[in-house]
Amino acid sequence: MELGNDDRDLAHLEASSTPKSETAADVRPLIQNLGAPSTAQIEKLIGELHEARNLLESERERIQRETVRYIKFIQIASASVKIISDTLSGWHQAGHPLSAIVTRSVADDSIGRMGGPYFGSAPDV
């Protein structure tokens, strides 16, 4: 693209109006001063992002540890329930005196208590 006479004159005028002492080295500090606040803000944000990442990683690790702990707890509780169930089933099959109480559910009692001599509460009314 070729410049017209007016464009050439304007470019020549701008070039001649700029003092020769104003070189790229003189302009560089001005540009750096203009960009310094933005650079500081970006570095601050990067630091905050690193902190957030570290927090999220530590929380992920904590949740993994808690999950493993709860899984172990559930496995132990499940094993305990199975032992109790098997024991009560064996008592029931053997005709143990507690078998009558074991087969009775809490739903049988309108107030949710299991009565009878083995539980130390008053007999059903």
pLDDT tens-digit readout, 52-89? 999 999 999 999 999 999 999 999 999 999 999 998 88
At 8, the pLDDT band (50, 70, 90 cuts) reads low
Residue 121 CA to residue 113 CA, distance in Å, equals 9
Whether the predicted model's global pTM rises above the 0.85 cut: no
Alpha-carbon torsion angle 36, 40, 43, 47, nearest 10: 170
More confident residue, 100 or 40: 40
Report domain extents, the chain. Answer: 26-108
